[in-house]
């Protein structure tokens, strides 16, 4: 292993993108309207594209000669380091949009900060992805407002999604010795600043949407250490099927 | 012996698989072309991270060079500096318009939420009375618009900066 800490860090980013991209892909052909079906799958495609670049970098850092497919498809559940938020089921449209909104509002400032990273390839991926993420956040913010400030039913569903997902949001800013080590080496930003930025976006959008932030601070975490919710295994069963059934297959 | 300029000319014959009126030169995805260890390296910048056309472009590009008698070529993906729609050539913009796709306009900073969608001219009737139907369209790089004058639904090649 050439750089264990950096490898783990990049893997976390990649797994967040891959699993959320997989979740959004489940909407293909099921969107509430055609435009939204296309939008969700477009966002999914961006996330999976970002995951490919991140896995390529991770593979270089690991130095074990694995390609991005092997990292994406041939690990066991406890080897995936994504946050629990991204593996939560799609639920109704409000649940999917709120999950995406919370994630985009986190990813945008994170990518903006990573553009300054001295790890050149990580900075390049961030610079590329930040442009796409701006579109995602714009799209999800507008939906949150439309639903929150819409009909009684859309408001109720959006609020229910927030109340349910809130417990998964603090994990986005989870830091352990991997983060600390990399921050000390000045390779990655502190997530404290990102969290402040995230909170600002969330407050602005939710207040415009007449939605409220839950006061319950109950939280779940564990994803960053490979401890996942019960949904993860089902995702992997779908995600990994082709590589498990036909090892080393390529399109 | 072929040189880099000639190779660039050959690449004028390779089109974008999703927007066939554009060549990959018009699109601005071809960066440096150079010889390293007897192999021609063609640097490509992806448009969107997940754009499936990029793989096809690579296949088409190598096939074109093969056809021109250049077998020792390799594609190298470069992410930095990141591709922007500013790199689409003036000729490319004309071609897009002729094809019925509105070319990217200069958009204000997208980091501001709640901004109005960009004002885009209808590629059919040139009216500025158009509306955005969806920020996401038939491919990663496009948004869906409709003209309020002639009612034509059209694709807008959205600004990426």
Domains of chain B, residue spans: 4-83, 90-157
Tell me phi and psi for residue A222, to 5 degrees.
Answer: 140, -25
Contact B79 A53 (CB under 8 A): yes
Contact B82 A127 (CB under 8 A): yes
B111 vs A78, more confident: A78
For the cut 90, the answer to whether the pLDDT of residue B118 exceeds it is no
The contacts of residue A153 (CB under 8 Å, 6+ apart) are: none
For the cut 60, the answer to whether the pLDDT of residue B144 exceeds it is yes
Structure tokens at A195: 């969290």
Tell me phi and psi for residue B11, to 5 degrees.
Answer: -70, -15
The contacts of residue A100 (CB under 8 Å, 6+ apart) are: A20, A24, A43, A136, A140
| pLDDT class of B114 with cuts at 50, 70, 90 | low
The contacts of residue A246 (CB under 8 Å, 6+ apart) are: none
Contact A128 B46 (CB under 8 A): yes
* Cβ-nearest to B48 among A49, A125, A205: A49
Name the least confident of A205-209, B17-21, B115-119: B115-119
* Cβ-nearest to A35 among B46, B79, B133: B133
For A43, A157, B6, B140, the CA distances from A23, given in Å and listed in that order, are 11, 19, 45, 18
- As a whole number of angstroms, the distance between CA A5 and CA B46 comes to 28
What's residue B140's pLDDT? Answer: 84
Question: Considering chain B, what is the average pLDDT of its residues?
Answer: 90
Tell me phi and psi for residue A163, to 5 degrees.
Answer: -60, -35
- As a whole number of angstroms, the distance between CA B22 and CA B6 comes to 19
The contacts of residue B79 (CB under 8 Å, 6+ apart) are: A53, A121, A124, A125, A127, A128, B45, B46
| pLDDT class of B159 with cuts at 50, 70, 90 | confident
Contact B147, B154 (CB under 8 A): yes
Query: Coil, strand or helix: which one is B34?
Result: strand
Per-residue pLDDT tens over the stretch B27-49? 999 999 999 999 999 999 999 88
Mutating which of A17, A25, A42 best tests the B interface, going by the most B Cβ atoms within 10 A? A42
Residue of B nearest to A124 (CA): B80
Contact B79 A125 (CB under 8 A): yes
What's residue B113's pLDDT? Answer: 61
Out of 3.30.300.130, 3.40.50.880, 3.30.1330.30, 3.30.70.2520, select the CATH number for domain B4-83.
3.30.300.130
User: Chain A partners of B82 at a C-beta cutoff of 8 Å?
Assistant: 124, 127-128, 131
| Domains, in order of start, for chain A | 4-212+228-245 (1.20.1260.10)
> Which residue positions in chain A have pLDDT lower than 70?
1
- As a whole number of angstroms, the distance between CA B7 and CA A237 comes to 46
- As a whole number of angstroms, the distance between CA B157 and CA A21 comes to 23
Per-residue pLDDT tens over the stretch A160-192? 999 999 999 999 999 999 999 999 999 999 999
The contacts of residue A6 (CB under 8 Å, 6+ apart) are: A61, A119, A182, A187
The two beta strands, B73-77 and B39-44, are: parallel
What's residue B52's pLDDT? Answer: 83
Burial profile A183-193: b = 16 or more Cβ within 10 angstroms, e = fewer: eeeebbbebee
What's residue B112's pLDDT? Answer: 55
B112 vs B76, more confident: B76
Q: Taking an 8 Å Cβ-Cβ cutoff, which residues of chain A contact chain B?
A: 35-36, 38-39, 42-50, 52-53, 108, 120-121, 123-125, 127-129, 131-132, 134-135, 137-139, 141-142, 145, 201, 204-205, 208
Mean pLDDT, to the nearest integer, of B19-26? 94
* Cβ-nearest to B51 among A49, A129, A204: A49
Structure tokens at A26: 């489940």
Q: Could you tell me which residues are beta bridge partners of residue B102?
A: B156
Per-residue pLDDT tens over the stretch B41-100? 999 999 988 888 888 999 999 999 999 999 999 999 999 899 999 999 999 999 999 999
User: Chain A partners of B134 at a C-beta cutoff of 8 Å?
Assistant: 35-36, 38-39
Mutating which of A38, A57, A101, A105 best tests the B interface, going by the most B Cβ atoms within 10 A? A38
Structure tokens at A232: 């993860």
């Amino acid at each position: 292993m050439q750089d264990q800490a950096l490898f783990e860090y990049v893997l976390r980013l990649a797994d967040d993108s891959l699993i959320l991209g997989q979740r959004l892909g489940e909407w293909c052909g099921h969107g509430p309207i055609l435009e939204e079906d296309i939008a969700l799958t477009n966002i999914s495609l961006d996330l999976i594209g970002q995951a490919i670049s991140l896995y390529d970098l991770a593979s270089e850092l690991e130095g074990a000669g694995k390609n991005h497919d092997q990292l994406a498809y041939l690990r066991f559940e406890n080897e995936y380091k994504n946050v629990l938020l991204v593996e939560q089921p799609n639920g109704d449209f409000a649940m999917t949009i709120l999950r995406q909104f919370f994630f985009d509002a986190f990813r945008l400032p994170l990518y903006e900060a990573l553009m300054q990273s001295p790890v050149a390839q990580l900075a390049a991926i961030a610079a590329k992805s930040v442009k796409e993420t701006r579109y995602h956040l714009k799209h999800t913010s507008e939906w949150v407002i439309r639903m929150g400030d819409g009909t009684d039913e859309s408001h109720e569903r959006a609020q229910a999604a927030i109340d349910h997902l809130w417990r998964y949001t603090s994990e986005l800013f989870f830091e352990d010795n991997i983060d600390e080590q990399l921050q000390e080496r000045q390779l990655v930003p502190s997530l404290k600043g990102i969290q402040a930025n995230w909170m600002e976006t969330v407050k602005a959008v939710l207040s415009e949407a007449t939605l409220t932030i839950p006061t319950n601070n109950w939280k779940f975490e564990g994803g960053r250490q490979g401890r996942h919710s019960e949904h993860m295994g089902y995702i992997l069963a779908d995600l990994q099927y082709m590589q498990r059934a036909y090892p080393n297959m390529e399109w | 012996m072929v040189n880099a300029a000639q190779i660039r000319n050959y690449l004028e014959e390779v089109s974008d698989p999703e927007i066939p009126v554009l060549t990959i030169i018009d699109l601005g995805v071809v960066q440096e072309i150079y010889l390293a260890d007897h192999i021609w390296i063609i640097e490509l910048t992806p448009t969107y991270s997940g754009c499936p056309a990029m793989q096809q472009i690579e296949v088409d590009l190598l096939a074109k060079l093969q056809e021109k008698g250049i077998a020792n070529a390799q594609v190298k993906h470069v992410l930095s500096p990141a591709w922007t729609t500013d790199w689409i050539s003036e000729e490319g913009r004309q071609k897009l318009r002729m094809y019925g796709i509105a070319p990217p306009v200069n958009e204000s900073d997208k980091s501001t939420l709640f901004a109005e969608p960009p004002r885009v001219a209808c590629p059919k009737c040139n009216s500025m009375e158009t509306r955005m139907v969806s920020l996401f369209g038939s491919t990663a790089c496009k948004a869906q618009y409709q003209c309020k004058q002639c009612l034509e639904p059209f694709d807008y090649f959205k600004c990426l900066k």
